[in-house]
């Protein structure tokens, strides 16, 4: 199956926009958790964080992650990239980002149910993980080292 160059470019643009939306959320959610972990359980501020975290995850992050994966896999198929070794390393890193997304979703549920067990320091550290993954992913895509 093939898609014209304009179709491929539109698919690539969709992939980039979805990825940017996903990354914005994956950078912001742990930051919300930092502040939420420091708030008093049961306080109005904690309730506000629960709503913000749920909406960010459900309305932005998860749909953007799904769209990133669908557009990315379509680019692999239509672009004939399936034999590129750099791509498979990228896929592993994106799987890591997806695993982080899942862990963040579990933490969001824990906060919503009043059973968070992590300190704000934990979330500050976790907040650095997507930065490292994103740098490696972009380097692989741009440089295509192997």
Please state, in angstroms and as integers, the Cα–Cα distance from residue 20 to each residue in 61, 73, 104, following that order. 10, 17, 18
144 backbone φψ class: left, alpha, beta (φ>0; ψ -120 to 50): left
pLDDT of residue 29: 98
Q: What is the pTM of this model?
A: 0.94
For the segment 60-82, what is each residue's pLDDT rounded down to a tens digit?
999 999 999 999 999 999 999 99
Instruction: Please give the tally of structural domains in the chain.
Output: 1
Q: Mean per-residue pLDDT for 8-28?
A: 98
Residue range 111-133, pLDDT digits in tens: 999 999 999 999 999 999 999 99
**Number of C-alpha atoms within 13 angstroms, CB side, residue 135?**
4
- Domain range for 27: 5-143
In this structure, are residues 56 and 28 in contact, taking their beta carbons and an 8 Å threshold? yes
Rounded Cα distance between 143 and 10, Å, is 22
* pLDDT for residue 4: 81
């Amino acid at each position: 199956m093939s898609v014209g160059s304009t179709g491929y470019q539109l698919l690539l643009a969709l992939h980039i926009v979805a990825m940017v939306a996903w990354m914005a959320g994956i950078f912001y959610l742990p930051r919300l958790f930092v502040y939420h972990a420091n708030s008093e359980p049961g306080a109005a501020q904690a309730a506000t964080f629960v709503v913000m975290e749920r909406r960010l995850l459900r309305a932005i992050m998860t749909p953007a992650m799904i769209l990133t994966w669908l557009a990315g896999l379509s680019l692999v198929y239509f672009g004939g990239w399936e034999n590129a070794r750099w791509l498979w390393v990228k896929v592993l890193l994106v799987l890591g980002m997806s695993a982080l997304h899942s862990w963040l979703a579990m933490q969001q549920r824990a906060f919503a149910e009043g059973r968070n067990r992590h300190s704000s320091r934990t979330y500050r550290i976790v907040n650095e993980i997507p930065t490292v993954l994103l740098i490696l992913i972009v380097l692989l895509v741009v440089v295509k080292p192997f």
